Structure 1
Amino acid sequence: RKITALAIIGLLVLFMFGTNLTERQAFKNISSTFTEVYNDRLVVEGYIFRISENLFRIQKLVDHCDSNYDYSRVVDEIAAHEQSILEIVNNFEKTNLTTSEEQYLKDFRSIIENDLQIKNYSLLYSDSSGVNLSQVQLYDKKISKAQEDLDNLSKIQMEEGEKLINKANIIINRTQIWSQFEVALLIILSLTLYLLLFRNKMILNN
């Protein structure tokens, strides 16, 4: 009986050690998941907001091209906003991207680098002919397409964030189950020790 009881105790201890390791790994996974939520989703949402802000300023400069601005200064301002956008995109590309994010970001970068580069302000406005409406509308169309890419990227952040939170909830639920199992093992271990020690004493006393 002693050997059997000791074997049971040994098995229970091993089970408890195993559940403890499982819980530790679960907490590491939870920590990793929430780190991913912050670094790859919340921070990225901040990137998207800053990009949108710069894109809005570009559109404002383009749409108000008949204002009394120094032409060269406007071109420089637009170029500065585009440079700011590309710097943020560079940081964006270093995060953990999904396949869809890579595609939208690639398309967005192409629009900024190839379609919105204004080399000469006279393409938009000149004193002799006024606003080049067709060119302004073309830029507006490209800006709208870039904003559409940003909107899609923002939706992905929400979707991926929800997936990560659901993943964390699953891990937490599993950890709770393992904790309950561990409590049950402790109860069984206590009963086994009680029977092993006190029952033998009772038998010897009798």
Structure 2
Amino acid sequence: MAFFNKVKWILGILIVFVLIVTTNLIDKNNFIRVRDAVVTIYEDRVVASDLIFDLSKSVQEKEIAAALLDTTFFYNRSEQLDKNILELLSRYDQTKLTKKEKKTLNNLKSDFEDLKVSENILINSNFIEKRSFFNTISDIQENLYNLSKIQLSEGKRQMSISKKAVDKLEIFTQIEIYLLALLAIVIQIIILYKPKQRQETE
């Protein structure tokens, strides 16, 4: 009987061990998903939205200067603004991009290259030839708008992933509690159970 008791104890401990390892692996996976979603929302969505805002401000500054025929801006401020725009685009490129976002960002980069050309045309024409400049500004604004919409869409998607992971954590936590309670009962039965010995008749 000593051997049978040892087997019962080993089985009981093994069941507890397997249950704990399994639930910990599931919990770990869900925690990783929540953490990654939160990091992505900040690093790749909030930061990207801030960069879009800064790019929009720079474009608006150029647009207002052209509308007001501000020659001082184009001869002094515009070059520094172009450097800032390149830096902002470079920082944006370092975020995690979706395929659609990458394509839109490439279009935006191309638009900014076109803006330099149309800006030179504007200056060389003594601020008479504005159409090309404002058309390019319009293209840039459209791409910035599309990028901002992508941020909202991706932000919602990441929040949905995070919410699903949290919901799974809650469900598995409840299941763990019920399983541990059931397991405690089963182990008690295994340990306390003593098979009836046959009484020898004399």
TM over 0.5: yes
Q: What are the Cα deviations for residues 21-80 of structure 1, in whole angstroms up to 9, with x where unaligned?
A: 210221122111100110000000000000000000010111111x5x54xx52331222
1:45 aligns with 2:53: no
- Residue 138 of structure 2: aligned partner: 144
Tell me, in whole angstroms, the C-alpha distance in 1 between the residues paired with 2:89 and 2:75: 21
* Partner of residue 25 from structure 2, selected from 21, 31, 52: 21
Residues 5 and 192, structure 1, Cα contact 8 Å, conserved in 2: no
- Displacement, 1:121? 6.0
Residue identity in the other structure for 1:156 = I
How many aligned residue pairs are there?
191
Which segment drifts farther, 149-158 or 7-16?
7-16
1:1-206 map, 5 Å: 2=5, 3=7, 7=11, 10-65=14-69, 67=70, 69-70=71-72, 74-117=74-117, 118-119=119-120, 122-125=123-126, 131-132=127-128, 135-197=129-191
Q: Gapped runs of 5+ residues in structure 1? A: 126-130
Q: Please report how far the alpha carbon of residue 175 of structure 1 lies from its aligned counterpart in structure 2 after TM superposition.
A: 1.3
**How does the TM-score come out when normalised to structure 2?**
0.84
Report what 1:128 is aligned to.
none
Confirm or deny: 8 A CA contact 1:16 1:185 kept in the other structure. no
**Residues 193 and 38 of structure 1, relative CA distance in 2, 3 Å threshold:** same
CA contact (8 A) 1:19 1:178 kept: yes
Question: Please, what is the CA RMSD of the aligned residues?
Answer: 2.4
Q: CA deviation at 1:8?
A: 5.1
User: Distance between the aligned counterparts of 1:76 and 1:44, measured in 2?
Assistant: 28
Cα separation, 1, equivalents of 2:33 and 2:97: 19
